Amino acid sequence: RAYPSRKMDAQQLERYANLAPCFFAVMGVVFMAKCKVAWHPILNKTGWKKDGVFACSADAVFLRWSSLASHMFFIIGAVIFGNGILAISNVLGLPLVLGFWCMSSSIIQSIMYMAVFKQSPMGTPDIDGPPVPARVVIAAVWIITTANYIVNRATLYRDVDETRLFGLMAVGVFLPAAIGAKHRTKHWRLHYMKDLPSRDEAKTY
């Protein structure tokens, strides 16, 4: 009599296990949205202050490095978000390879933006994308998975719910692009610095 209960518990656990990775999408959005301040706690560590690192809106070098840090957090967020898109595709019952198609579509739009406009999706200038091997791998995954769907749409994927598929893909592409566009409404040199160490706080040992 106890066996059905254990089976039900196992099924519930599996459902939760399928749902849990979807929160990567939420975490990715937060990383992208907060990319300009997410690294601030690092700079506030005692060791950084002792080494004389402080925020200065008039220091061109600091502004460059802080903008680069913001870019890196944005890209980390985009990758985490892509993993969330993959997890959501699983919950929606899409074939795994189509989940990877949605995921790679989400990431490659940022790669393409950097390649075309020579700046980070969130506005940092003089950034044309990740190292070449990474671009090649991401582009290859996207091209192969796109070709796979085009060729097999009428056969292997004739029963796939295209509303779910392209709806998820639209979210995966639109959200990072929209967050990046929002960041670009402000000049890349403008940073919130009130929570960062000032010159008086930082002491060189």
The residue with tokens 């392209």 is 166
Show the tokens assigned to 126.
């003089």
Instruction: Give the range among 5-19, 83-97, 101-115, 116-130 with minimum mean pLDDT.
Output: 5-19
Q: How far is it, in rounded angstroms, from Cα 123 to Cα 125? A: 6
pLDDT digits (tens, 9 = 90+) for 168-186: 999 999 999 999 999 999 9
What is the residue-wise DSSP string for 135-194?
HHHHHHHHHHHHHHHHHHTTTTTTTS-HHHHHHHHHHHHHHHHHHHHHHTTS-TT----T
Q: How far is it, in rounded angstroms, from Cα 175 to Cα 82? A: 11
User: How buried is residue 102: exposed, middle or buried, by Cβ count under 10 Å (0-12/13-18/19+)?
Assistant: buried
pLDDT digits (tens, 9 = 90+) for 126-141: 999 999 999 999 999 9
pLDDT score of 114 more than 60:
yes
CA within 13 Å, CB half, 172: 31
Show the tokens assigned to 13.
């656990």
At 44, is the secondary structure helix, strand, or coil?
coil
78 close to 180: Cβ distance less than 8 angstroms: no
Q: How far is it, in rounded angstroms, from Cα 63 to Cα 57? A: 7
pLDDT digits (tens, 9 = 90+) for 30-84: 999 999 999 888 887 777 777 777 777 667 888 888 899 999 999 999 999 999 9
Show the tokens assigned to 204.
């060189």
3-state secondary structure 78-105: HHHHHHHHHHHHHHCCCCHHHHHHHHHH
pLDDT score of 201 more than 80:
no
Buried residues in 65-92 as b, exposed as e (16+ CB within 10 A) = ebbebbbbbbbbbbbbbbbbbbbbbeeb
Q: How far is it, in rounded angstroms, from Cα 199 to Cα 126? A: 28
